[in-house]
Each structure stands twice: as structure tokens, then as C-alpha cells.
């Protein structure tokens, strides 16, 4: 929001489809946050596990998507809601490494 307010037209993120300005990214992240809330995903809906088992923290939102503008908007939207994000890859060049890394995230 800081950069969207001060430099709204500057490029914030870029992928193969083109660049999004800070303002476009801000708007998209607010839409993503609203969509997550609509589906019941927000900090209050993701309570922390029992303190005796794990540190106090909400459950992370796992994002498995190609890297790009929408990926960034979704991550920012989750962070707006106070949700931690576990970002996984589905477009790494080394498929074996990708599968190993993603499997480790679910342990």
C-alpha cells in the first residue's frame, strides 16, 4: 500500500503476461483477500494448534501455483488477512527437486 500510494503507476511485478503497477497489484491483492474471506480463510478461521504441540501461529495457506502476478496477488492477499503462506512451486526446471521440496512442505 505504501508504494501504491506514492508510485501507483510504477511497475511492481512482471511475468510473461506483462507488468502490473503497484496500484494494480494493490487492487488484485484486496480482491484475493476478499475471495479468501468468502471461502472462510482468514486468521480467525485458522486457529493455532495446541501450544503444547507447536508454537502459537495460524495454519499456513499453501499456495501451489506458477510464479507470476496472480501468485504475488494471492500471497499479498493472504498476508493482508494475517495468514502465513507456504509457497510451493509447480514450474521449476528440475521436476525431481520440485517434487521433493513440495513433499517436504507437507511433513
3-state class (DSSP) for residue 22: helix
How much of the chain, in percent, has pLDDT values that exceed 70? 85
Residue 85, pLDDT above cutoff 70: yes
Residue 44, pLDDT above cutoff 90: no
Return the residue matching grid coordinates 484486496: 30
Say if CB 89 and CB 101 are below 8 A apart.
Answer: yes
Task: Record the cell numbers describing residue 9, joined without a space.
Answer: 503507476
Could you name the CATH architecture of 2-47+55-105? 3-Layer(aba) Sandwich (3.40)
- pTM comes to 0.78
Give the pLDDT band of residue 46 (cuts 50, 70, 90): low
Each domain of the chain, given as residue ranges in start order, spans: 2-47+55-105
Using only C-alpha atoms, what is the Rg of the chain? Answer: 16
Amino acid at each position: 500500500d505504501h508504494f501504491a500510494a506514492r508510485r501507483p503507476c510504477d511497475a511492481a511485478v512482471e511475468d510473461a503476461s506483462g507488468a502490473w503497477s503497484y496500484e494494480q497489484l494493490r487492487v488484485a491483492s484486496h480482491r484475493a483477500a476478499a475471495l479468501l474471506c468468502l471461502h472462510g480463510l482468514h486468521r480467525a478461521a485458522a486457529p493455532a494448534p495446541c501450544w503444547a504441540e507447536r508454537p502459537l501461529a495460524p495454519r499456513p495457506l499453501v499456495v501451489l501455483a506458477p510464479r507470476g502476478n496472480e501468485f504475488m496477488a494471492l500471497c499479498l492477499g493472504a498476508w493482508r488477512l494475517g495468514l502465513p503462506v507456504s509457497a510451493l512451486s509447480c514450474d521449476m526446471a528440475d521436476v525431481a527437486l520440485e517434487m521433493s521440496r513440495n513433499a517436504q512442505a507437507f511433513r
